[in-house]
């Protein structure tokens, strides 16, 4: 093999390692829990040595932060750009964002993060605080902006926006927790039906009386 080709392949592999470690860690965190997952297991699933893993991350907490920064933060940033550039009715924007987020997370390992945080928050408060500040509050702020805009332009009723935003988010989070805990023991639930009905009921309650469905 040509030395350059061999070097370039090695370099591509090296550059991909942090992402491979993060993906391996997410799967283990969701399957086993944060406290039960060992660094050696993450390294093994990622196909690297424990020593190699420590070249990139010095703790499980840092790996968890990388999961958020690599897999969830880009989704939030995409929504932030969409909100800033959107020119249309508020109802459509709200549906687009909530449905888009659902499609990106439902039936993927990312849906297990909500259960992970709820389960581990008491033992790992810094991890819970990091998730709260970098995910929950950022998403909540975006949704509050959208709902407030709908109130101001007359599409939505005059409501307590922070509370209504929590009510919008709660069934989505609950569904993620259910999917990663009781789902195997419950009757089947179609994800599309669930999110569409949730949005329909939510928006019917939020829109001003007399507006069309």
What is the pTM assigned to this prediction? Answer: 0.88
DSSP reduced 3-state for 197: helix
Kindly report the backbone phi and psi dihedral angles of residue 207, in degrees, each rounded to the nearest multiple of 5, phi listed first.
-70, 155
Calculate the alpha carbon distances from 142 to 10, 26, 51, 122, 189 in Å.
41, 25, 40, 27, 28
How is 18-50 classified by DSSP, letter by letter?
HHHHHHHHHHHHHHH-TTT--HHHHHHHHTS-H
For residue 21 the two structure tokens come to: 């470690």
90 & 155 share domain: yes
For the chain, 213 residues long, the average pLDDT of each consecutive 10-residue run is 49 70 97 97 96 95 98 96 93 97 96 97 97 98 97 97 98 97 95 97 90 52
Q: What CATH number does the domain containing 142 carry? A: 1.10.357.10
Q: What CATH number does the domain containing 38 carry? A: 1.10.10.60
> Would you say residue 213 lies in a domain?
no
């Amino acid at each position: 093999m040509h030395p350059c080709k061999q070097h370039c392949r090695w370099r591509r592999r090296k550059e991909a390692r942090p992402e491979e470690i993060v993906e391996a860690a997410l799967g283990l965190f969701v399957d086993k829990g944060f406290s039960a997952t060992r660094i050696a297991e993450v390294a093994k699933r990622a196909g690297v040595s424990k020593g190699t893993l420590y070249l990139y991350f010095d703790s499980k907490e840092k790996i968890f932060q990388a999961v958020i920064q690599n897999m969830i933060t880009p989704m939030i940033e995409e929504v932030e750009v969409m909100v800033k550039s959107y020119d249309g009715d508020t109802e459509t924007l709200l549906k687009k964002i909530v449905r888009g987020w659902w499609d990106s997370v439902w039936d993927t390992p990312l849906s297990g993060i909500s259960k992970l945080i709820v389960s581990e928050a008491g033992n790992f408060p810094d991890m819970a605080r990091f998730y709260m500040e970098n995910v929950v509050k950022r998403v909540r702020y975006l949704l509050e902006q959208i709902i407030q805009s709908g109130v101001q332009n007359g599409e939505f009723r005059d409501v307590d926006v922070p509370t209504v935003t929590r009510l919008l988010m709660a069934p989505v989070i609950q569904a993620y927790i259910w999917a990663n805990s009781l789902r195997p023991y419950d009757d089947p639930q179609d994800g599309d039906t669930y999110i569409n009905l949730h949005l329909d009921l939510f928006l019917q309650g939020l829109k001003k009386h007399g507006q069309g469905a």
